[in-house]
Amino acid sequence: MAFYVFLEWLIGLLLIAGGLFAFVGSLGMLQFKDFFMRLHGPTKGTTLGIGCILMASMVYFSVVQPGLHVQELLITLFLFITAPVTGHMLAKTGLHMHLRYTRDTRGSPPELRDEDVGQGRVARPPRPRRPASEGQKRRWRLRR
Amino acid sequence: MLDTALWISLALIVAALAMNVVRLARGPDIPDRLLALDTMYVNCIALIVLLGLWLNTKVYFEAAILIAMLGFVSTMAICRYLLRGDIIE
């Protein structure tokens, strides 16, 4: 009996932890200042959150229904493999499109300018930036 | 106990989805919107899993797997389109 109480607490804890992590990931995506900071929240927080929720589902169905239910591990594994790939591709896209970033975002890799585009074919030419307003400049402290 | 945890988790996921929609609407550039869509499908998988827990059924896991795979592939396709101007060369 105590074992089932423990399992119930475990499932509840995993559910709330998963919801919190997903919430924090989306909050970071909403609140951070430039694209390269915003990339951090979803790729780490949300992935961990959904991992927690899938673990909770796995434990719940293994307890409630007969047999072991490990199909959720498939989704967890898939998401944990694909999240870094997605983050990498999105970061490359952001670097390629010359998104502006704040002064606190460090590094400006020049090697991504020509090499990764391939044969000098540019998807879309670097467009002229619209001048930022004064308030935006104060907020962003633009590097360029 | 489990009902309370499920309600809290559902509320947090729905709040996360609302914030994703806000970022999708006002994201200044295309990668921001793409990132918002990517996060939205991950949150939708969480929502489907919670629905399965709520209804005490495992019917919806195939849908979750399908959404995971299609979301990854579509994000990759749009990233490649933005990077190279073409998806399959």
* CA–CA distance, B67 with B38 (Å, rounded to integer): 11
Amino acid at B11: A
* B14, B32, B39, B58, best to mutate vs chain A, most A CBs in 10 Å: B39
pLDDT at A131 (0 to 100): 62
Fold of B1-84: Helix Hairpins (1.10.287)
Q: A90–B38: do the CB atoms touch at under 8 Å?
A: yes
Q: Identify which of A15, A78, A90 has the shortest CB distance to residue B5.
A: A15
Residue A84 has pLDDT above 80, yes or no: yes
pTM of structure? 0.79
CA closest to A24 among chain B residues: B16
Q: Looking at the domain assignment, is residue A125 inside a domain?
A: no
Q: Looking at the domain assignment, is residue A39 inside a domain?
A: yes
Q: Looking at the domain assignment, is residue A38 inside a domain?
A: yes
Contacts of A70 (CB under 8 A, 6+ apart): A58
Q: Structural domain of residue A56, as residue ranges?
A: 2-104+130-141
Q: Of residues A79 and A125, which shows the higher confidence score? A: A79
User: What domain count does chain A have?
Assistant: 1
Q: Looking at the domain assignment, is residue A6 inside a domain?
A: yes
Average pLDDT, chain A: 80
Residue A138 has pLDDT above 90, yes or no: no
Q: Looking at this predicted complex, what is its ipTM?
A: 0.90
CATH number at residue A23: 1.10.287
Q: B46–A22: do the CB atoms touch at under 8 Å?
A: yes
Q: Looking at the domain assignment, is residue A8 inside a domain?
A: yes
Q: Looking at the domain assignment, is residue A114 inside a domain?
A: no
* CA–CA distance, A88 with A83 (Å, rounded to integer): 9
* CA–CA distance, A114 with A91 (Å, rounded to integer): 16
Q: A123–B82: do the CB atoms touch at under 8 Å?
A: yes
Q: Identify which of B5, B31, B56 has the shortest CB distance to residue A99.
A: B31
* CA–CA distance, A100 with A140 (Å, rounded to integer): 9
Closest CA to B82 of A33, A82, A89, A127: A89
Per domain, the residue ranges of chain B are 1-84
